[in-house]
Amino acid sequence: MYTQHRRALHRKILLYIFYVAVSSLFTIVLNIVHSTYVLKLPLVPISFLIPVGAGVAFGLTLAHIKALSSRMQEMAYTDSLTQVYNRLHMTHFLEAEIERARRYQSTFSLILFDLDYFKNVNDEHGHQAGDKILQQVAKLVSNANRDADILARYGGEEFLILASDTNIDGAVKHAERLRRDIANHKFGIPMKITASFGVAEFDAEDDDINSLIRRTDIALYNAKARGRNCVAQA
């Protein structure tokens, strides 16, 4: 996800520059044509600077408006703290993935994980420390995921991964790797951070979004009942 964000940022910068350049050039040309053929002004260096300045100013304004619009759209589907997708947008991905799996007779799995005893982190080290841990977990998991995997903050200290084209065995292996990564990571506080994982594979005959998430959530509950810091499958 973080790699995708960096690529998206590069694309936005290039798009911003493109809007500035195109808008500026278009406005400059119009101003020159208007000054020369309508106002009948001689195109001396001083008169040339005015349309150039107006064109650049217009281009910057238009590009800024475009950037603000893009930022507003991003805020609508991105969790502001962790910079991964939010719960609402994950629902859109799930709808599309279910349709794709049924159409092409493929499969996918969900991985739902929850940080163990996270309330103790906030109580003992403060909410700022808790926020930093959530950010680190999001980055850690994003770096370990495949490009095709979609990560979302599902609520509080819960995260959901949509693992496309992955059966239950592959999803359990991936969840186990993530569990070890989190358990072995140094988060900068004198407290070991672990996570519990629930995994479920999509069943084309019986599942919709609600039933699939419910089965995944039950698996997570079972992982917690088994002592936490483990992986359970539906």
Question: So which residues are the catalytic ones?
Answer: 157
Token representation of residue 12: 């936005």
Q: Where are the alpha helices (DSSP H) in the chain?
A: 2-33, 45-77, 87-104, 118-125, 127-144, 168-184, 209-225
Angle at 216 between CA 149 and CA 164, to 5 degrees: 20
3-state class (DSSP) for residue 9: helix
Alpha-carbon gap, residue 183 to 143, rounded angstroms:
16
8 A C-beta contact, residue 171 and residue 189: no
Characterize the bridge pairing of strands 158-164 and 108-115.
antiparallel
Pick the closest to residue 201 from 159, 154, 169 (CA basis).
Answer: 169
Q: Do 165 and 107 contact (CB within 8 A), yes or no?
A: yes
Amino acid at 168: I
- Output the six-digit token pair for 15: 């798009």
- For residue 169, give the nearest of 107, 99, 228 by alpha carbon: 107
